[in-house]
Amino acid sequence: MSKENKFCTFTEKNKSVMISLIVSRFHWRCKAPPLPSSPTNSTKMSLFITRCRKVQRLLASKKLDALLITNSVNVRYLSGFTGGDSVLLIRRDSVTLLSDGRFTLQIEEECPDFNDFYIRPTDETMATAIAKAYGITKSGCLGVEAETLTLAENKRLQDKLPKTKIAPTHGIVETFRQIKDRSEISAIRKAIDVAAKAFECVRNGLRPDQTEISIRNEIEYQMRLHGAEEKSFSTIIAAGPRAALPHAVPSAQPIGGHPMLLFDWGAVVDGYMSDLTRVLVLMPTKKLRTVYETVLKAQLAAIDAIKPGKTGEEIDAVARGVIKDAGFAKHFNHGLGHSLGLEIHEDPRFKLGYNTVLKPGMVLTVEPGIYLKNWGGVRIEDDILVTKSGCEVLSRHVPKNFDF
């Protein structure tokens, strides 16, 4: 074990996790580091106020009197509130959070300076609450998020607001979310660090008799131990031929006897996600080295091409060209990458047909792969921040050379 990983210890020497001996006597365990400090509530509120004002400034140009935020992720982005069954009504001069009695104390804790919120009675529907907040007799135009407001909810709302035009909108808040501010980038860095520490602990304790499922369980446990709120997505652990499945579901198959072991995992910290993929070479072969180094070359070339002004399609083409020149074009069967943040898959993306121009503050994955049926696969993924002059590999401290 490296001296640098001061949090790794044997289970037998760590009394705080002795109960894990029931599961395995020889697993490596990691002692959780101190949790990082979080921004103060006043700092957070200033961020949320700024975000809401950006939306308010768009309403007039969109010919909207108000915008109803029903996407829970967007509600969190604009208010800091993490509960469910709540919406945000943004007017040109005010913002109201509408919720119910289950979340009264949570709103007070998470939004201490958010004075305008409405807790609806238990016998009042959300449509009625929204109508009251907007103005039942008011005319004008109310924008709604078309991707999350169902047809049934739209009808109920229209019935409550007969004089109001209900207008579908698309991606208003999501467009703002494409550019991460310093607090968001900081949270993503922490999520990457947590994922990296968990990976190191699991890697140090790998045994041939471990199954894909047991490794998945261990890395998710280690992420939580190191401060993750939860995993970013369903962790992928795939050994040998199963690594040819880009979204393989971990099985009860032992990893021993297979040349490669693919990890695709991520952690959530302060609501923000990381997404990493590494392939451990367990039994080096000439073919595996060829495939691995082709994927790595494609990834490095794409990363080197990232800078403001480029499009997602252009960056995708760089990696795809390297893989095509190596003779594996038909075996790279997905887009090169995607943005991430409060959700694991956000826009813009590195993919054919995506012409969104890259801007400083965007955070995207770069994850080329080659997948060969009945043999296996290699995918290498890092999280990348677009900067004013190019980009920064946020996960650069996670090793990815063939022999690491």
Q: Domain for residue 378, yes or no?
A: yes
The pLDDT, as a whole number, for residue 40 is 52
Whether the bond between 348 and the residue before it is cis, its omega within 30 degrees of 0, is yes
Is 31's pLDDT higher than 80?
Answer: no
- Give the gyration radius of the chain's Cα atoms: 24
The rounded distance, in Å, linking the Cα atoms of 24 and 64 is: 60
pLDDT cut 70: percent of the chain above it: 89
Residue burial 26-38, b: 16+ Cβ < 10 Å; e: rest: ebbbbeeeeeeee
Angle between helices 72-79 and 41-59 (to 10 degrees): 120
Question: What's the average model confidence in pLDDT over 222-234?
Answer: 98
Let me know whether 125 and 186 are in one domain.
no
The rounded distance, in Å, linking the Cα atoms of 261 and 212 is: 9
CATH of the domain at 148: 3.40.350.10
Q: Domain for residue 19, yes or no?
A: no
Number of domains comprising the chain: 2
The pLDDT, as a whole number, for residue 44 is 58
Question: What's the average model confidence in pLDDT over 315-323?
Answer: 98
Let me know whether 170 and 203 are in one domain.
no
Is 208's pLDDT higher than 90?
Answer: yes
The pLDDT, as a whole number, for residue 22 is 29
The pLDDT, as a whole number, for residue 207 is 96
The pLDDT, as a whole number, for residue 76 is 97
Is 25's pLDDT higher than 80?
Answer: no
The pLDDT, as a whole number, for residue 30 is 42
Which pLDDT tens digit goes with each residue over 253-295? 999 999 999 999 999 999 999 999 999 999 999 999 999 999 9
The pLDDT, as a whole number, for residue 176 is 98
Is 15's pLDDT higher than 80?
Answer: no
Question: What's the average model confidence in pLDDT over 24-43?
Answer: 42
Phi, psi angle pair for 88, to nearest 5°:
-125, 125
User: Across 85-140, where does the E strand assignment appear?
Assistant: 87-91, 95-100, 117-120
- Among 160, 177, 194, the domain-final residue is 177
Let me know whether 65 and 197 are in one domain.
no
Which pLDDT tens digit goes with each residue over 229-252? 999 999 999 999 999 999 999 999
The pLDDT, as a whole number, for residue 10 is 33
Let me know whether 188 and 251 are in one domain.
yes
pLDDT confidence bin for 323, thresholds 50/70/90: very high
- Among 159, 177, 195, the domain-final residue is 177
Of 10 and 264, more confident? 264
The pLDDT, as a whole number, for residue 29 is 35
Let me know whether 281 and 377 are in one domain.
yes
Domain that holds residue 67: 41-177
| Tokens at 238, concatenated | 């795939």
The pLDDT, as a whole number, for residue 337 is 98
User: Across 127-285, where does the E strand assignment appear?
Assistant: 141-145, 165-169, 230-231, 236-239, 260-265, 267-269, 272-273, 276-281
Let me know whether 156 and 236 are in one domain.
no
The rounded distance, in Å, linking the Cα atoms of 263 and 191 is: 16
- Among 133, 158, 177, the domain-final residue is 177
The rounded distance, in Å, linking the Cα atoms of 200 and 191 is: 14
Average confidence score pLDDT of the chain: 90
The pLDDT, as a whole number, for residue 115 is 78
pLDDT cut 90: percent of the chain above it: 86
Is 328's pLDDT higher than 50?
Answer: yes
How many helices (H) and strands (E) the chain has is answered by 10, 21
Cα 234–chain centre separation: 12
* pTM check: above 0.85: yes
Which pLDDT tens digit goes with each residue over 120-154? 999 999 999 999 999 988 899 999 999 999 999 99
Which pLDDT tens digit goes with each residue over 344-391? 999 999 999 999 999 999 999 999 999 999 999 999 999 999 999 999
Cα 153–chain centre separation: 28
Q: Domain for residue 404, yes or no?
A: no
